[in-house]
Structure 1
Amino acid sequence: MQRRLLALLLALTTALAGLTGAGAATADPGARGEQFPGVAVETDVPITMSDGIVVRANVRRPADAEGDPVAGRFPVLLTITAYNKNALDGPAAGVIGGSSDFFVKRGYVHVTVDARGTGSSDGSWQAFDDRENTDSGEIVEWAASRGRPWSNGSVGMHGASYMGISQLFAASHRPAGLKAIFPQVPAADTYRDVVASGGALDVGFIPLWMGLVTGTGVIPPDYGPAEPDNALQMYLSRLKGATSFTAPTLLEATLGLNAAFDGPFYAQRSPINVVDDIDVPTFLVGGEYDLFQRGTPMIFDRLRQNGVPTKMILGPWDHLQASSGSAIAEAGHGTLQELQLRWFDHYVKGVPDPGLSDIPPLTYHEIGSGEWRHAQDWIGEQRATTFNLSGSSLPGRPGALTAGDADDGASPVAPVPVSGLCTRSANQWTAGLPNAVGVGALCEDNRLNDTTGAVFETAPVDRPLRLRGPINAHLNTSTPTGNGMLSVSVSAVSPDGEVDRLTGGWQVLSHRALDESKSRYLDGELIQPFHPFTKEAQSVMQPGRPEPIDVEIFPTGAVIPPGSKLRVAIQAYDVPHLLPTVRDLPAALSPLTIHTTPQNPSHITLPTLD
Structure 2
Amino acid sequence: MVETGHPKAVREMMALGTRNTEARFVPVVTEGARSWQPYERAPTHTHVVSLPSQVIELSDGTKLFAKVALPGYEAGQPAPGTFPVVLTQTSYNTSVGQFVPELGGVNEFLVKRGYAHVVVDVRGTGNSGGNWEAFGEREQADYLEVVEWVTEQSWAQPSIGLEGISYLGITSILTSQHNHPAVKASFPVVPIGDGYRDIVFTGGNVNATFIPSWMALVTGLGLLPVELLANDPAAFVTAVPERLTGALLDFQVPTILKAVLGEPETVYDDDFWRIRSPIEGVDKINVPTFVVGGLFDLFQRSEPLWYERLSGRVPTKLLIGPWTHIAAAGVPDNGLPADGVPDLDTLRLQWFDEYVMGLDTRVTEQPNVTQYVLGLDSYQTATHWPHPELRAERLYLGAENALSQQLPVNDETYQTLQQPLNGLCSFSTTQWTAGLTGQIPLPCLEDNRFSELAALKFELEAPDEGLYLNGPMQADLWVSTTAADVQVAVRLDLVSPDGTTRPLSNGLQTASLHSVDESRSRFVNGEMLQPWHSFAEGERSMMKPGEIRKVSVEIFPSSAFVEPGSSLRVSVNTSNVAQGVPPVLTSLIPSLGGVMSLHIGPNTPSSIVLPVVPVSTLKR
Q: Which residue of 1 aligns with 2:189?
A: 184
Of 253, 256, 260 in structure 1, the residue corresponding to residue 262 of structure 2 is: 256
Deviation at 1:461, TM superposition (A): 2.6
Q: Taking structure 1 as the reference length, what is the TM-score of the superposition?
A: 0.90
Deviation at 1:30, TM superposition (A): 6.6
- Three-state SS of the structure 2 residue aligned to 1:475 is strand
Confirm or deny: 8 A CA contact 1:124 1:240 kept in the other structure: no
Deviation at 1:527, TM superposition (A): 0.7
Matched to 2:101, the amino acid is A
Q: Is residue 246 of structure 2 the alignment partner of residue 244 of structure 1? A: no
For 1:31-430, what aligned pairs fall within 5 Å after superposition?
31-88=40-97, 90-95=98-103, 100-143=107-150, 145=151, 147-242=152-247, 243-257=249-263, 258-305=265-312, 307-324=313-330, 326-354=334-362, 356-379=363-386, 380-391=388-399, 399-406=401-408, 407-430=410-433
Matched to 2:378, the amino acid is E
Deviation at 1:94, TM superposition (A): 3.8
Distance 1:491 1:318 in 2: 17
Change (3 A) 1:132 1:388: same
Change (3 A) 1:181 1:481: same
* 1:69-128 CA distance string (max 9 Å, x none): 22211011010010111222x2211457x8512211111110000011111111110111
- Three-state SS of the structure 1 residue aligned to 2:537 is coil
Deviation at 1:588, TM superposition (A): 2.4
- Three-state SS of the structure 2 residue aligned to 1:292 is coil
Distance 1:484 1:599 in 2: 21
- Three-state SS of the structure 2 residue aligned to 1:381 is coil
Confirm or deny: 8 A CA contact 1:363 1:372 kept in the other structure: yes
Confirm or deny: 8 A CA contact 1:412 1:453 kept in the other structure: no
> Bigger shift: 591-600 or 204-213?
591-600
Deviation at 1:532, TM superposition (A): 1.1
* 1:472-495 CA distance string (max 9 Å, x none): 100000001120101100112222
* 1:210-229 CA distance string (max 9 Å, x none): 11111000113314234222
- Three-state SS of the structure 2 residue aligned to 1:578 is coil
Change (3 A) 1:286 1:441: farther
> Bigger shift: 343-352 or 571-580?
571-580
- Three-state SS of the structure 1 residue aligned to 2:576 is coil
Matched to 1:265, the amino acid is F
Deviation at 1:526, TM superposition (A): 0.7
* 1:562-583 CA distance string (max 9 Å, x none): 1222211011111233211111
For 1:569-580, what aligned pairs fall within 5 Å after superposition?
569-580=571-582
Deviation at 1:234, TM superposition (A): 2.1
Confirm or deny: 8 A CA contact 2:323 2:334 kept in the other structure: no
Distance 1:492 1:226 in 2: 55
Deviation at 1:296, TM superposition (A): 0.7
Of 604, 607, 616 in structure 2, the residue corresponding to residue 603 of structure 1 is: 607
Distance 1:123 1:154 in 2: 28
> Bigger shift: 369-378 or 274-283?
369-378
- Three-state SS of the structure 2 residue aligned to 1:410 is strand
- Three-state SS of the structure 2 residue aligned to 1:530 is coil
Unpaired runs of at least 5, structure 1: 1-27, 392-397
Change (3 A) 1:101 1:149: same
Q: Which residue of 2 aligns with 1:433?
A: 436
Confirm or deny: 8 A CA contact 2:106 2:119 kept in the other structure: no
Deviation at 1:440, TM superposition (A): 6.1
Deviation at 1:416, TM superposition (A): 3.8
Confirm or deny: 8 A CA contact 2:179 2:284 kept in the other structure: yes
- Three-state SS of the structure 2 residue aligned to 1:64 is strand
Distance 1:441 1:288 in 2: 20
Confirm or deny: 8 A CA contact 2:89 2:120 kept in the other structure: yes
- Three-state SS of the structure 2 residue aligned to 1:472 is strand
> Bigger shift: 416-425 or 115-124?
416-425
Change (3 A) 1:63 1:29: farther
Of 491, 495, 505 in structure 2, the residue corresponding to residue 493 of structure 1 is: 495
Q: Is residue 472 of structure 2 the alignment partner of residue 470 of structure 1? A: yes
Deviation at 1:428, TM superposition (A): 0.3
* 1:397-454 CA distance string (max 9 Å, x none): x61111112142111122244321222111000100022x242665322222221211
Matched to 2:50, the amino acid is V
- Three-state SS of the structure 1 residue aligned to 2:85 is strand
Confirm or deny: 8 A CA contact 1:44 1:120 kept in the other structure: no
Change (3 A) 1:302 1:441: farther
Q: Which residue of 2 aligns with 1:588?
A: 591
RMSD: 1.8
Distance 1:422 1:162 in 2: 27
Change (3 A) 1:348 1:524: same
